[in-house]
Amino acid sequence: MKNLLMILPVLALIACAPARGTPPIVYIGTSADILATAAQICPALRPDSMHNYMSVRAITPTAVTCAADETTGWKIVDALGGSNSSESGVIITALQNGASTSVAISGTDQNLSNAVFAELDKKFQRVQVP
C-alpha cells in the first residue's frame, strides 16, 4: 500500500504531461486542387447516426469548412431533454509551399479526419517528411 501511495504522484505528473501534436500531412499538389477535392469529399461524410451528412459551409483560399447538423429526430430528443443540439464538423486547411501542400484537419472526430485523408490519398501522393 505504501508503494502505491508513492507511485500515485508520479502517475499524476505523467497524466498531466501534454500530448504530442498531430503534424500535417504533406501531399504533392496545389492547395487549390486539394481543397477542391476536400469540398467534393465532404458531402459523402457522415459523422455518426445522430448527424446528417456533411455540407460545405465555407471555402477560403486556404481552407474548407464542413459541418453536419443533428438529424431531426435527435434535435427533438435534445429539445425535450432540455439540451442544445450539436453540430459536428471539420476544417481542412491546405497551405502550399512550392509543389507540395501541407494539409491539416481540425475537428473532434478522428474518424472524419481519417476518412478525408483516405480520400485524399486516392488522388494525391503523400510526401514522406523526416
Where b means 16+ CB within 10 Å and e means fewer, 82-109 reads eeebeebbbbbbbebeeebbbbbbebeb
pLDDT of residue 109: 79
Q: Where along the chain do its domains lie?
A: 27-127
Mean pLDDT score, 95-122 = 92
Q: What angle do helix axes 110-123 and 31-41 make, rounded to 10 degrees? A: 120
pLDDT of residue 16: 64
For 71-91, the pLDDT digits (tens) are: 767 666 766 776 666 777 899
Task: Say which CATH topology domain 27-127 has.
Answer: Alpha-D-Glucose-1,6-Bisphosphate; Chain A, domain 4 (3.30.530)
Total-model pTM: 0.75
Average of per-residue pLDDT values in the chain: 83
